[in-house]
């Protein structure tokens, strides 16, 4: 059974995700990634393989990162232990010190009992499926077990956070002076670095959700619980609120009135800003099929083309790399600015969003008004044959009728789950009632026609 999911290996710590599994996975990673051309060239030049390892603050990350580091060092890889840092910081550091690869121990927005292992290749890029499959196979094969001086060393990466902060500050087109920002760090990996960076950039900062104790990560705070941030922004009279998830690879926002600004709206703001400054490659934004119809309309109004991918930031990144595009992301707040990052970076995104407020002198509500958010209803229809969703004539006729009735004022999407016997029915329309009505009708048709 495959152990890699859509974003690394994830599961209940000490359930399916054990120290033994982490160690074996690290050893297999050393075997597979140590066979690449870059790694071979390093060895030919007498250099040792190296890797960056970081984690979020959940308690299980302590033993899992220790197991990962033991697996790498036992395979002859020198390890730079960066401690608690965001996932995008780990990706940046791999490239910054020219390490051969890196590992992030985190379960992102999941609750504290879960954990995960994400592997990045040279340059801090995510692994393609084929490489993950090779690592899985290598877990049952021979390991690299050097002896004596050839074993790897484990060193504390003392200036890891400083390097990342300097990088973030260097990316900014404008300082944040005069703006009051509330940061919700989800008791996660951004708890130290995000407040520090926003303050260094000139903002007045109020911090919530930045007291990690190993078990409170994402617990009622962060990007999955925006009501807490919205209340704080209004209470403190702040200009804007920024919310991270546990590993800080995503960013959502709240305006001064407590209104949520989602990933689509953030991308719209950044895309228009980047185009005006000549930084939006080919005047193109990459988004997933789940992005709101309002994003497409807003981008069209501003002469920006939208390239659409499947759901998942890895697919967004693949298309960005293929086309040489500079901005992409998801409604959930994974925003990739490829000029400065190889993956979604919530701290970077938040900084650039607030910088646009400072640059233009506009409120976040004014900036977000460039996009009208269409009501979106999502129904998960379970217990159905997902493989027939695209071929059943009755289902497709129902989709066609709903699409025709909505016309240019709405959109219909049927998306089979990749892991469950489930079909997701998503409808956008000019009103919540219309979206709900069409979604419920389509869900009934799917349920009746595709029932197992």
What amino acid positions are annotated as catalytic residues?
108
How far apart are the C-alpha atoms of 364 and 354, rounded to whole Å? 8
Map residue 188 onto helix, strand or coil.
coil
Kindly give the interhelix angle for 393-406 and 432-449, rounded to the nearest 10 degrees. Answer: 170
Kindly give the interhelix angle for 346-360 and 87-96, rounded to the nearest 10 degrees. Answer: 90
Residue 82 sits at the vertex; the CA angle it makes with 79 and 86, to the nearest 5 degrees, is 130
Two structure tokens written together for 312: 């998942």
247 is in an annotated binding site: yes
DSSP designation for 172: -
444 is in an annotated binding site: no
283 is in an annotated binding site: no
249 is in an annotated binding site: yes
Answer yes or no: are the C-beta atoms of 160 and 184 closer than 8 Å: no
How far apart are the C-alpha atoms of 135 and 133, rounded to whole Å? 5
- For the chain, the farthest-separated pair of C-alpha atoms sits apart, in whole angstroms, at 73
Beta 305-309 vs 260-261: how paired, if at all?
unpaired
End-to-end CA distance of the chain: 23
Q: Where are the alpha helices (DSSP H) in 74-140?
A: 87-96, 129-138
Known binding residues for Mg(2+): 108, 245, 247, 249
């Amino acid at each position: 059974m495959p152990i890699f999911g859509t974003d690394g290996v994830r599961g209940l710590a000490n359930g399916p995700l054990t120290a033994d599994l982490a160690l074996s996975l690290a050893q297999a990673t050393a075997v597979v990634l140590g066979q690449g051309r870059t790694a071979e060239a390093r060895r030919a030049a007498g250099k040792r393989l190296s890797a960056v390892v970081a984690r979020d603050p959940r308690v299980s990350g302590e033993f899992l990162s220790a197991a990962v580091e033991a697996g790498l060092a036992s395979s002859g890889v020198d390890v730079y232990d960066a401690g608690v840092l965001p996932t995008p910081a780990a990706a940046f550091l791999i490239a910054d010190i020219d390490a051969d690869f890196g590992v992030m121990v985190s379960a992102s927005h999941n609750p504290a009992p879960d954990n995960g292992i994400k592997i990045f290749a040279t340059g801090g890029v995510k692994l393609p499926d084929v490489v993950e499959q090779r690592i899985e196979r290598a877990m049952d094969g021979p390991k690299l077990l050097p002896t004596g001086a050839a074993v790897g060393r484990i060193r504390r990466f003392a200036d890891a956070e400083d390097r990342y902060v300097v990088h973030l500050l260097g990316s900014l087109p404008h300082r944040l002076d005069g703006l009051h920002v509330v940061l919700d760090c989800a008791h996660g990996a951004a708890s130290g670095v995000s407040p520090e960076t926003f303050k260094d950039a000139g903002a007045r900062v109020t911090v919530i959700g930045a007291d990690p104790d190993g078990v409170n990560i994402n617990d009622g705070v962060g990007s999955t619980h925006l009501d807490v941030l919205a209340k704080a922004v209004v209470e403190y009279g702040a200009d804007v609120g920024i919310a991270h998830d546990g590993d800080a690879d995503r960013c959502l926002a709240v305006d001064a009135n407590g209104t949520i600004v989602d990933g689509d709206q953030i991308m719209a703001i950044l895309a228009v800003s980047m185009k005006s400054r000549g930084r939006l490659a080919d005047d193109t934004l990459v988004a997933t099929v789940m992005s709101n119809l309002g994003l497409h309309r807003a981008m069209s109004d501003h002469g920006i083309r939208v390239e659409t991918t499947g759901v998942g930031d890895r697919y967004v990144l693949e298309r960005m790399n293929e086309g040489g595009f500079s901005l992409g992301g998801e409604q959930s707040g994974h925003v990739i600015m490829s000029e400065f990052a190889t993956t979604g970076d919530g701290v970077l995104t938040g900084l650039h969003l607030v910088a646009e407020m400072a640059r233009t002198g506009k409120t976040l509500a004014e900036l977000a008004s460039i996009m009208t958010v269409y009501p979106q209803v999502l129904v998960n229809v379970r217990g159905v044959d997902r493989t027939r969703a695209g071929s059943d004539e009755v289902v497709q006729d129902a989709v066609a009728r709903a699409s025709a009735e909505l016309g240019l004022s709405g959109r219909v999407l049927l998306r089979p789950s990749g892991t469950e016997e489930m079909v997701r029915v998503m409808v956008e329309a000019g009103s919540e009632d219309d979206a709900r009505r069409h979604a419920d009708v389509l869900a009934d048709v799917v349920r009746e026609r595709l029932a197992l």
